């Protein structure tokens, strides 16, 4: 099992951290801070890399995610689609009330697996 912590770059204004823990077929990604236009590329790179490495099950720990933009929700939906096409799945774990509400408003709470 490997772990990597990606710290926010000095050029970014938003506070956002990604913690990754994975093995051959299962990955856990913990998000902290705000997932918006500035931070979405980091999550996309992380999810793409996990998929390229063969992870088919990815758990996103959202317990410390304070905000998610509509574009961020789109990234989650797209990642879920890619994983489902490969026989896997994306699971959202412990979203805050605010994040869960945004998922409900957009209707994506019905399309995404939420624990």
Chain-centroid distance, C-alpha 112:
12
Using one digit for the tens of pLDDT, what is the confidence trace for 59-69?
999 999 999 99
Q: Which CATH number fits domain 2-114: 3.40.50.11310, 3.40.50.360, 3.30.750.24, 3.40.1800.10?
A: 3.30.750.24
**In the chain, where the domains are located:** 2-114
Q: Note whether 31 and 62 are within 8 A (CB).
A: yes
DSSP letter, residue 7: P
Segment 9-61, tens digit of pLDDT: 434 445 777 777 766 678 999 999 999 999 999 999 999 999 888 899 999 99
What's the pTM? 0.80
């Amino acid at each position: 099992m490997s772990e990597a912590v990606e710290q926010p770059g000095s050029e970014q204004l938003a506070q956002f951290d990604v913690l990754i823990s994975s093995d051959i077929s299962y990955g856990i990604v913990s998000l902290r801070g705000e997932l918006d236009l500035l931070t979405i590329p980091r999550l996309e790179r992380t999810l793409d890399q996990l998929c390229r490495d063969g992870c088919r099950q990815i758990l996103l720990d959202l317990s410390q995610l304070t905000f998610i933009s509509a574009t961020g929700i789109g990234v989650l939906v797209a990642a879920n689609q890619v994983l489902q096409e490969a026989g896997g799945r994306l699971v959202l774990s412990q979203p805050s009330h605010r994040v869960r509400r945004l998922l409900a408003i957009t209707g994506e709470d019905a399309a995404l697996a939420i624990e």
